[in-house]
Structure 1
Amino acid sequence: MNAVSATHLVLIPSYNTGEQVYATVRAARAQWAPVWVVVDGSTDGTAEGLQAMAAADPGLRVWVLPQNSGKGAAVLHGLQQALAAGYTHALAMDSDGQHPADLIPAFMQASIARPDTMVLGRPVFDASAPLLRVRGRRVSNWWTNLETLGAGVADSLYGFRVYPVAALAAVMQRQPWMRRFDFDTEAVVRLAWRGIKPVNLDAPVKYLRADEGGVSHFRYGRDNVLLSWMHTRLMVEFVLRLPALLWRKARRLPPFQA
């Protein structure tokens, strides 16, 4: 299947994933058009390879950022381009082979059926998943559930998702965060604060070994500090807005803009 959409696109931020990015892009293109890739200052030569692929494929577009600014920054660049081109929704997926490209059509159809929602992947782990990361995300999920008053976000970190473009771009443009590893979690919290409900769909996640082409830029110390700082910021803001949020929720009024 290779569906073509005028409203929904696939958005792939990429940074130094080597040859794996080509397989990811080919798999996504086999399922959907258009597919957009934002190369976030990669130094591994893949920008040139992706541009060559795009030159031969009208369903593929590539942007190359001059320096590495983080996943969220790359996604924001893609969102701004999507808004300018008239797209309403973007399915974000990683370039490292962890996400299931064959589920792109199912996630897109769920979004098309309910365009006022965010369609979130609920990860199904196999034996390749590092136990420390599986356990660690439970902590983030607990905080996210608290910060969103139990809005129903099944997983706060899995990046295979369909976002409403205008809402997410507006959220990101209003504050300086969400540019690096804090992007995925803060995106769902702030969208939930805007009243955008989650739709959770199961999706497998695979952690490729180095000999399989797997590349990970996650750093336990650095990125866990970043997540802790993010949840601290969100909790402070959550507490400040909680009385008004509860009042509006009791009266079924739209929540404040995040």
Structure 2
Amino acid sequence: MPVSSTTHLVLIPSYNPGRKVLATVRAARAQWTPVWVVVDGSTDGSADWLTEEAAKDPGLRVLVMSENQGKGSAVLHGITVAAQQGFTHALTMDSDGQHPETLIPDFMAASQAEPEAMVLGKPVFGPEAPLVRVLGRKLSNGWANLETLGVGIGDSLYGFRVYPIAPLMRVMHGTRFMRRFDFDPEAVVRLSWAGVRPINIDAPVRYFTPEEGGVSHFNYLRDNLLLSGMHTRLFTGFVLRLPLLLWRRLTG
């Protein structure tokens, strides 16, 4: 039986994942209630498939955005509605089956034990993981830990994590960024600046081949340029906040 909660929900932002999304949602529902999916302007028919699924499953809710606005925008839409209904925490996971749904209860338990923290997945890669992705995230992780004075962010890019909703909404409303692929790394940096402590838990990640139904929307040039611009912006913010961060580190 899935664990049920009135404070913690699973939130899945989704954009053109193909049929893999149904397996992902069913696997998540086997572990947790409720599960919400935010369809981010998908054009692959997944909004219809998920709506049909939700009609048969009261533990599943589907929110449909009319246009593609990016992962961060989808998460913000989902947590805004969730907060209005009394939820305090959201576990985000990708819709393409890469994230380990069997660890949902463990991550939620860690969050429930320390509700003021954010629980971050630290990816354990299989042999199929693209080397350029593995090496590229090391650079992003290095920048994130510099920008937070080494507060302890295990991985800045892995999207399997539990956020406390209220502080995440505050930092998102405080910037016009964090709306697309830059959401995950910028969220952990800005939440760290806001005093939200990270808890890191190892979690496997799987990269599916196209033959296995794998879908990737990652564009190496576009998204690496986006990340580079993001870290330039965050480093500027880090310099401005450095006295506060040093004081917090010395007195914490």
TM-score range, shorter chain: over 0.9
Residue 248 of structure 1: CA displacement?
4.1
In the alignment, residue 88 of structure 2 is paired with which amino acid?
A: T
In the alignment, residue 129 of structure 1 is paired with which amino acid?
A: A
How far, CA to CA, are the matches of 2:46 and 2:249 in structure 1?
A: 47
Alignment match, 1:199: 199
| Residue 215 (1) aligns with residue 215 (2) | yes
Q: Can you list the C-alpha shifts for 1:68-92, whole angstroms capped at 9, x where unaligned?
A: 0000000000010111000000000
Residue 195 of structure 1: CA displacement?
0.9
| Structure 2: gaps spanning 5 or more residues | none
Query: Between Structure 1 and Structure 2, how many residues are aligned?
Result: 252
How far, CA to CA, are the matches of 2:172 and 2:80 in structure 1?
A: 11
| Residue 41 (1) aligns with residue 41 (2) | yes
Alignment match, 1:155: 155
Q: Can you list the C-alpha shifts for 1:32-69, whole angstroms capped at 9, x where unaligned?
A: 00000000000000101101111111100000000000
Residue 243 of structure 1: CA displacement?
1.9
Q: Percent identity?
A: 67
Residue 246 of structure 1: CA displacement?
1.6
How far, CA to CA, are the matches of 2:113 and 2:251 in structure 1?
A: 27
In the alignment, residue 139 of structure 2 is paired with which amino acid?
A: V
Alignment match, 1:127: 127
Residue 125 of structure 1: CA displacement?
0.2
SS at match of 2:200: strand
SS at match of 1:61: strand
| Structure 1: gaps spanning 5 or more residues | 253-258
How far, CA to CA, are the matches of 2:208 and 2:30 in structure 1?
A: 21
TM-score by length of 1: 0.96
Alignment match, 2:84: 84
SS at match of 1:124: strand
Q: CA RMSD in A?
A: 0.8
Q: How does 1:158-177 map to 2 (within 5 A)?
A: 158-177=158-177
Alignment match, 2:243: 243
**In 1, are the aligned partners of 2:123 and 2:203 still within 8 Å (CA)?**
yes
